[in-house]
Amino acid sequence: MRFYIDTAEIDEVKEAVDKGWIDGVTTNPSLIAKSGRDIKKVVKDLLDLNPGWISVEVLSTKSAEMIKEGTAWAEMGEEIVIKVPMTEDGLTAVRHFSSVGIKTNVTLVFSPLQALMAAKAGATLVSPFVGRLDDIGHVGMELVEQIIHIYDNYELETQVLVASIRNNQHILDAGLLGAEVCTVPFNVLKQMITHPLTDKGIEKFLKDAKSAIIK
Ligand code: E4P
């Protein structure tokens, strides 16, 4: 399974890259706004860190403008993936990007049929938002299961990028289902490494080792 970090905070990306935790980065307009920085500067800094594929979302809602915006981002580097919302206009843009070899990530996917249409348009990645579905009382991971099932049935090449991840359980479930990628907030990446019994075990081993030396 590949991990992307879901953030626009450069220090978080740097730490995750340095520690070898990630294979890419996803950003979105809310994360960029939260960083308080200019989007171009953020994207440039991300490219400098060489974290793998970097998803950058278009802000236009009409296909012609999405194509213009996405093409300009793609010119900044081969690692740029154009994030396009799951709309009719979005899919027209995805079709274009696919025809000229620009990678895409279809975002805000909440149904398996949306994911099927994204794949038919030639999306490189599709992002089902599991946390936001959980938030409204659905089981977000059922969507991931259905998308993987349909993609397998028809040997579609679009990869499933599980997004809107809130906790370790989401990642475990995504791994058991065979999703190709999870995009994970920094705090959840850290949570994956820790376990209270590991900490307790280390504490006991160190205590026992100390008393053994004293005897
Ligand atoms: C995906 O690429 C999005 O940036 C992200 O996962 C959205 O998650 P949220 O529901 O935590 O905003």
Looking at residue 17, which CATH number applies to its domain? 3.20.20.70
Q: What is the pLDDT of residues 25-45, one digit of tens each?
A: 999 999 999 999 999 999 999
Tell which one of 7, 9, 28, 42 to mutate to probe ligand 1, the residue whose CB is within 8 A of the most ligand atoms. Answer: 28
Q: Summarize the confidence of residues 156-178 as an average pLDDT.
A: 98
* Per-residue model confidence (pLDDT) at position 110: 98
In this structure, the residue with its CA closest to atom 5 of ligand 1 is 164
- Residue 5's pLDDT is what? 98
Atom 8, ligand 1: which residue's CA is nearest?
A: 164
Distance CA 157, CA 208 (A): 53
Averaged pLDDT for residues 157-168 = 98
Q: How confident is the model at residue 214 (pLDDT cuts 50, 70, 90)?
A: low
Q: What is the pLDDT of residue 212?
A: 86
28 lines ligand 1 (CB under 6 A): yes
pLDDT of amino acid 213: 74
Q: Is the CB of 163 under 6 A from ligand 1?
A: yes
Ligand 1 close to Cβ of residue 26 (< 6 A)? yes
What pTM does this model have? Answer: 0.96
pLDDT at 84 over 90: yes
Active site residue 120: no
The tokens describing 79, both together, are: 């690692």
Average pLDDT over residues 74-94: 98
Q: Give the model's confidence band at 102: pLDDT under 50 very low, under 70 low, under 90 confident, else very high.
A: very high
Q: What pLDDT is recorded for position 47? A: 98
Residue of 34, 41, 83, 210 marked catalytic: 83
Average pLDDT over residues 176-197: 98
How confident is the model at residue 35, as a pLDDT? 98
Query: 132 C-alpha vs ligand 1 centroid, how far in Å?
Result: 8
Report which protein residue has its CA nearest ligand 1's atom 10: 164
Domain tally, the chain = 1
Instruction: Compute the C-alpha angle 131/182/147, nearest 5°.
Output: 75
Range(s) of the domain holding residue 185: 2-211
